[in-house]
Each structure stands twice: as C-alpha cells, then as structure tokens.
Amino acid sequence: MTKALYMLAEFSDRDFDWLLNAGKRKTAAAESILIKQGEPTDALYLVLAGLLVVTASVDSQIASEEIARLGPGEIAGEMSFVDARPPSATVKAAEDSLIWVIPRSKLAAKLLQDAEFASHFYQATAVFLSDRLRTALSQLGYAKAQFAEIEPEVDPQIADNLDLAKARLNWLLNQLRDTP
C-alpha cells in the first residue's frame, strides 16, 4: 500500500480537503465495471476498501489479461487525466468495494483554476506512474539484473509524507464508517 499512497502524500491539507468535498462515497458491487478499456471515464477513483482488478486486451477477440490488482489507498483512472485519452485497461471490482469517486469535470475545473493544486496533482501523478512503470519493468524481468542488489530509494520528503497519507486515508475511512 505504500506505493499507492504516493498521490495522497504529495497533497497539502488544502488539497486533501478539496478532494474530500469534491468526491463522494460509492459502493462497487463485485464484478461491477468502473472503467472500461477504450471508453472515456468520468471519474478518478480512490479505493478505500476492497479490491479492484485491472485487465487489458490488445484485441476485442482476445480474452483480457489481468495486469494489476488495486487495494485500499490505490488510485484508478489517473492516466486519462494526464493524457486525456480513453483508458487503456478495464477496472472492475473483484469483490464488494468502497470507492471515493472524484468526478472528472470537477477535477478538470480544479486543475485549470488552481495552479498550486495542479502542481501537486501532476507531481503526485508523475511519482505514482514512475513507480508503477518501474514495478512493471521489474515484473517483466527487464530491470531485475541491473537493479537486483539495489534497494529502492524513495525521496525522504515523500517517505515522510507517506505517514501523513496513511493517516488521511484512515481518517477518511473512519469518517465513512461513522456516517450512513
């Protein structure tokens, strides 16, 4: 979960407050699709509880292959906010899950209107996606030989902020448990 908290770690308290006010709680039933490959997405999703599965297919005639699992603290739909292209994968709930949904229209408007928030969002997204790419390369075997003996380094500031990100996520979960 530490890697998944990179985005929350980059946000200021003001940014986090905006995310809380702009988003809404959603329950995703097992097997429900949140994001469909090739179709525009209307939201950014933060997994609060449960498990999402990410699948992709190179051709509609070929069965989709699982490429990732997203648990609490992980984010889905962020790539489409960066490049404004349709999603390259399908994301569905593997089990009943609790999701924090931030509408695309609200996020897009905030990014245009608030340069400080946009800076934090894009920095967080860059760190998050960079880590995802490194992990994918390692899983594919491309980085194992070269980096096998090197411990992964995390920017000390980001590492310090990860504790804050965990606290924010836990606070949000506690708030949601206390409300119907």
Distances from the Cα of 92 to the Cαs of 9, 35, 51, 72, 79, in angstroms?
A: 25, 7, 9, 14, 16
The DSSP string of 16-31 is: HHHHHHH-EEEEE-TT
Higher per-residue pLDDT: 159 or 99: 99
- What is the average pLDDT value for the chain, to the nearest integer? 81
Q: Which pLDDT tens digit goes with each residue over 1-21?
A: 445 566 777 788 899 889 889
Count the neighbouring beta carbons within 10 Å of the beta carbon of residue 154: 16
Is 3-178 CATH 2.60.120.10? yes
More confident: 62 or 92? 92
Q: Give the start-to-end residue ranges of the domains of the chain.
A: 3-178
User: How many beta carbons lie within 10 A of that of residue 87, not counting itself?
Assistant: 20
Confidence label for 178 from pLDDT (cuts 50, 70 and 90)? low
pLDDT score recorded for residue 102: 94
> Looking at residue 149, what is its pLDDT?
43
The answer to pTM > 0.85 is: no
| CB burial string 88-116: b at 16+ within 10 A, e below | ebbbbbbeebbbbbbebebbeebeeeeee
The residue-averaged pLDDT of 82-98 equals 91
pLDDT tens string 99-153: 999 999 999 999 999 999 999 888 888 877 887 787 777 777 776 545 444 444 5
